[in-house]
Amino acid sequence: MPGLTKTNEILREITTHSAEETIAFGRTLTDLLAPPKLVLLRGDLGAGKTTLVKGIAAAFEAAAEEDVTSPTFTLVHEYRGPRANLFHIDLYRVDTPRELETLALDDLRDDKSVLLIEWGEKFPRLAQESDVEIALERAGENERRISVRG
């Protein structure tokens, strides 16, 4: 059970000064996010969670940056790469555990999958089962403090 190895220590920390810098930071995370992983992306609206996924998906050669868009309405976007299959999930509009069940996220989890979940902390089960938490905090108009814990 990967969840049991989570120690919650800070693995990486950075302050970025533009969306481009956040994407570049996302590109450095492939080793840390080697599958299988369940990753929670935490942060307010507009913090940069989706922006970070652009870099992660590009580095895994699963999608071009510009093809990564917010799964706000579709809830799950899938990007398949040679080393990992990324599932970018946005639970902002998912309100109950029952609605969460209908997404069947457990069925997406296998050796090659990396689940990148925005607003997953709304559900204690996901918070508990996550392997890595990436928190993004607005520190100014274009400044974002980003920390990676696992």
Ligand X SMILES: Nc1ncnc2c1ncn2[C@@H]1O[C@H](COP(=O)(O)OP(=O)(O)OP(=O)(O)O)[C@@H](O)[C@H]1O
- C-alpha distances (whole Å) from 144 to each of 20, 47, 58, 102 are 12, 7, 20, 33
**Closer CB to ligand X, residue 3 or residue 64?**
64
Least spacing, CB of residue 18 vs ligand X, in Å = 5
- Residue 63 partner contact from Mg ion, ligand X, none using kind-dependent CB cut-offs of 5 to 8 Å: none
Q: Is residue 144 a contact point for ligand X (CB under 6 A)? A: yes
String of b and e for 1-15 (b: at least 16 CB within 10 Å)?
eeeeebeeeeeeeee
CA–centroid distance for 131 within its chain: 11
Residue 120 has φ and ψ, to the nearest 5°, of -75, -20
Which one, of 61, 59, 36, 45, lies nearest residue 116 by Cα?
36
**Residue from the set 30, 33, 35, 48 that interacts with ligand X by CB under 6 A:** 48
46 binds ligand X (CB under 6 A): yes
Instruction: Return residues touching Mg ion (CB under 5 A).
Output: 49-50, 70, 118
Q: How many CB atoms lie within 10 A of CB 130?
A: 23
Which part of the chain contacts ligand X (CB under 6 A), choosing from 29-37, 48-56, 76-84, 123-131? 48-56
CA-nearest of 53, 47, 64 to 30 is 53
> C-beta of 8: minimal distance to ligand X in Å?
22
Is residue 18 part of the contact set for ligand X (CB under 6 A)? yes
Residue 150 in contact with ligand X, rule: CB under 6 A:
no
Contacts with ligand X, residue ranges (CB under 6 A):
16-19, 21-22, 43, 45-51, 70, 92, 118, 142, 144
